[in-house]
Structure 1
Amino acid sequence: MTRLRRRISLLFALTSAVGLIAMAVLAVRSDSGRWREQLDHTMDADSSWALGLLETDADGRLDTAVLADTMDVDCPPLTVLLVDGAAPGGLAVQHAPAKPCLVVSRDVVLEAGRAAVRAEEPRGFDRRTANGAPVRVFALPFYAAEAADDEGPQGVLVTTADASAPQDDHRRLVWLVTGGCAVLVLLSAGVGHALSGRAVRPALTALGQQEAFLADAAHDLRTPAAALRTLAETALRGETDGAEVHRRTLRLAEGMGRLVDGLLTRARLMSGTAVPDRRPLRLDQLVEAVAAEAGESTAGAHRIRVDAEETVVAADPDLLRRAVGNLLGNALTHGHAPGALADVLVTVTRDGTVTVEDAGPGLPPEVAGALFERFRSGSGSTGLGLSIASWVAHAHGGTLTAGSSEHGGARCVLRLPARED
């Protein structure tokens, strides 16, 4: 069970980790694209405004004088490239900032310009300055005023923006998301461990009940099985009359049948599979019927007195009959001195209480307190019946207690919720 609990906790943690990591990756990628889009949008606006300052002279050549006089092309650095097949790389520098605030290599500017010209649409790139600072390079192609539809770009404007602050913010977000995921995974592992404990607790309880039931069943069946084996060995040696062997075998078989029936009933009650079929019934009549059956089974060898008031309860007739029968049978078995007759008084009151008193040796205080916790059988024990009676009482919302009688014997009190009708 410990290994199963660990596996459940690990599976819960892994499942949570996969989900959290997937969400973290999406969040990081979304933020990474967002800050790049913001920089590109800003540089696109600046480049578009600068594009309007470019003029063409009478010979059709591009004039950047107005752009240089009107706009500070040093910050942000703005480079104008013209498409020139004779120039290296197909681009020639028409205008470049004299003292750019962000210094990038000429190759970076040309690379960005060529990419925008080939794509015939704006392009953005992550690059670094000469001193290693991160920058965003943006290239915007432009066309001649009277260019044909199939004619390519006339040139390209390349600008650069500082990306240190956005990247620092993005890096902090990555660390925050990573730390949050780690904390949540650990938290989910703890929650999974707690939930797995709650999930396997019923199984552990069931296993414990099963082990207790098997141990008690083996203990209770060991004595009659040993007696039956001894009886068979005696019969084989011819030391006992055959008719007596048969009678004793029959008694042992009947006792073992009752014991097995009681064990099965208790197991069903403990597992919750035996659900009481509650219905209104006369408790006094049921007790009188059980007492009459017990008197017949003992052939009048013991004295059973019933003092019952008319009482109605909501209970399962079969289970309640077994519980009352077990209480009465326990009193008849143990409620008298050796060789003496049992004198049992059964009282039923209107509040749904059944009291069974005998005139036997009584119960020591240390035994009465734990009488129904664990059943045992054998000489001087409480037997299986009281355990079943206790389970029946609790299944009906009642109680079963035991103590000493005023007459010196044992006194068992079964209390059930009574009905007024």
Structure 2
Amino acid sequence: MFHSARLKLTVWYLLSIMAISILFSLVVFQGATFEISRGLRIQALRNAAGQRPPQDLFHHPLERDPGSPMIRELAPGGALDNQLFEEARRRVALQLLSFNGVIFVLAGLAGYFLAGRTLKPIENMVDEQKRFVSDASHELRTPLTAMRTEVEVALRDKDFDTPYARDVLTSNLEEIDKLQQLSDSLLILGRYQNTASKSNFAEVSLSNVVEEARQNVKTLANHKDIEIQGTIDDISVEADSDSLAKLLTILLDNAIKYSHQNGKIIVRAYPVKNKVAVSVQDFGAGIRAGDLPYIFKRFYRAEASRTKTKVEGYGLGLSIAKTIVDMHNGTIDVESIPDKGTTFTVTLPRKQ
């Protein structure tokens, strides 16, 4: 599809450039023809008069007619002058044709290149959209298939009784919760990606935002007996409070999931010139070097055999975090050593 569109766009580029080039060549040809004709007339007058032409030669009556019989009478070489005139016209025409041929080739190559550059962002966007739809469909299919299978097996069981029905419904409810989490994550990701306005940006206390994120993950941290350490100075930053709290919640939640039982997480915040940096460090499973370039892609999750840890989720958390950071014109970096831990560092401008 894009190859065909690229060729069509190249043709339009080529037609536009050649139309301008041909029009310019016609103007040049007419101008060159006029100058050659005038030069031959001047030469004919000089040959006839045997002296320099007067000052008003360019307005001489003989100049008005290129094939004036009077010029041929005054200049015995008039026939030769006419031959030179036609030869000069032919040479100018050939040079302009050659020039337009070169322009045609160069314009075709340049047009094909520029068409590719023009369509590349659109092609990437369409490919990204296709991957998103494919990944989302796959993630939605898994719990739906599990629910369907459980219901079909239960209905075929002749001994289907109330306790068994309760187990099936409980399992289905868990799958529904997973579907709801997935749909909520997709809605959040879409909302942040489509947010162009910064009307909600205001001065935010970073310590308050970090504390809010801590409260959001408190239950999960207590379940694994993980301690969240670190003191945050009262640093202010211009940001959207809700999305910033969501960002830190995602990073803390991710750190807890990949931390060992009875572990710890260290949160730091410090100013960096006209910016502020926030880091979340855990001492858990870590991330393999081969996975680091892809962790912010939607639905990307490292293989369980590589992480040695079974973690629930759909691989959307870090993608949402990256989108929030981009919305704040910031950066997010990650350093990780397998089986040693991971550190995420977010750097945001203090003023937007």
Instruction: Normalising by structure 2, report the TM-score.
Output: 0.72
2:224 corresponding residue in structure 1: 302
Contact preservation (8 Å) 1:308, 1:347: yes
Deviations 1:182-216 (A, max 9, x none): 22222222332222122101101102211222232
Query: How far 1:285 sits from its partner (Å)?
Result: 1.5
Are the structure 2 counterparts of residues 10 and 28 from structure 1 closer, same or farther at C-alpha, using a change threshold of 3 Å? Answer: same
Give secondary structure in 2 for the equivalent of 1:376: coil
Indicate the structure whose relative CO is greater, using CA pairs within 8 Å and at least 6 residues apart. Answer: 2
Is the counterpart of residue 225 in structure 1 residue 144 in structure 2? yes
Of the three residues 282, 285, 288, the one matched with 2:205 is 282
Give the whole-Å Cα distance in 1 for the aligned partners of 2:270 and 2:295. Answer: 26
1:398 corresponding residue in structure 2: 331
Give the whole-Å Cα distance in 1 for the aligned partners of 2:336 and 2:40. Answer: 87
Give secondary structure in 1 for the equivalent of 2:195: coil
Contact preservation (8 Å) 1:220, 1:376: no
Are the structure 2 counterparts of residues 386 and 365 from structure 1 closer, same or farther at C-alpha, using a change threshold of 3 Å? Answer: same
Structure 2 counterpart of 1:349, one-letter code: A
Give the whole-Å Cα distance in 2 for the aligned partners of 1:29 and 1:254. Answer: 79
Are the structure 2 counterparts of residues 44 and 294 from structure 1 closer, same or farther at C-alpha, using a change threshold of 3 Å? Answer: same
2:87 corresponding residue in structure 1: 168
Give secondary structure in 1 for the equivalent of 2:223: coil
Structure with bigger gyration radius: 1
1:415 corresponding residue in structure 2: 346
Structure 2 counterpart of 1:350, one-letter code: Y
Are the structure 2 counterparts of residues 368 and 203 from structure 1 closer, same or farther at C-alpha, using a change threshold of 3 Å? Answer: closer
RMSD: 3.8
Q: Which ranges in structure 2 are unaligned for 5 or more consecutive residues? A: 51-61, 305-309
Q: Which ranges in structure 1 are unaligned for 5 or more consecutive residues? A: 50-70, 72-120, 126-135, 141-156
1:3 corresponding residue in structure 2: 4
Structure 1 counterpart of 2:318, one-letter code: L
Are the structure 2 counterparts of residues 230 and 307 from structure 1 closer, same or farther at C-alpha, using a change threshold of 3 Å? Answer: farther
Give the whole-Å Cα distance in 2 for the aligned partners of 1:172 and 1:306. Answer: 85
Are the structure 2 counterparts of residues 274 and 223 from structure 1 closer, same or farther at C-alpha, using a change threshold of 3 Å? Answer: same
1:56 corresponding residue in structure 2: none
Query: How far 1:174 sits from its partner (Å)?
Result: 1.4
Structure 2 counterpart of 1:225, one-letter code: L
2:58 corresponding residue in structure 1: none
Are the structure 2 counterparts of residues 9 and 368 from structure 1 closer, same or farther at C-alpha, using a change threshold of 3 Å? Answer: closer
Larger strand proportion of the pair: 1
1:28 corresponding residue in structure 2: 29
Give the whole-Å Cα distance in 2 for the aligned partners of 1:358 and 1:276. Answer: 34
Deviations 1:326-346 (A, max 9, x none): 22222333433xxxx564424
Contact preservation (8 Å) 2:221, 2:256: no
1:203 corresponding residue in structure 2: 122
Query: How far 1:158 sits from its partner (Å)?
Result: 9.5
Give secondary structure in 1 for the equivalent of 2:18: helix
1:107 corresponding residue in structure 2: none
Give secondary structure in 2 for the equivalent of 1:313: strand
1:174-193 pair list within 5 angstroms? 174-193=93-112
Are the structure 2 counterparts of residues 40 and 362 from structure 1 closer, same or farther at C-alpha, using a change threshold of 3 Å? Answer: closer
Structure 1 counterpart of 2:103, one-letter code: L
Contact preservation (8 Å) 2:251, 2:344: no
Contact preservation (8 Å) 2:14, 2:108: yes
Alignment coverage as a number of residue pairs: 314
Give the whole-Å Cα distance in 2 for the aligned partners of 1:361 and 1:34. Answer: 83
Is the counterpart of residue 19 in structure 1 residue 20 in structure 2? yes
2:267 corresponding residue in structure 1: 347
Give the whole-Å Cα distance in 1 for the aligned partners of 2:280 and 2:214. Answer: 11
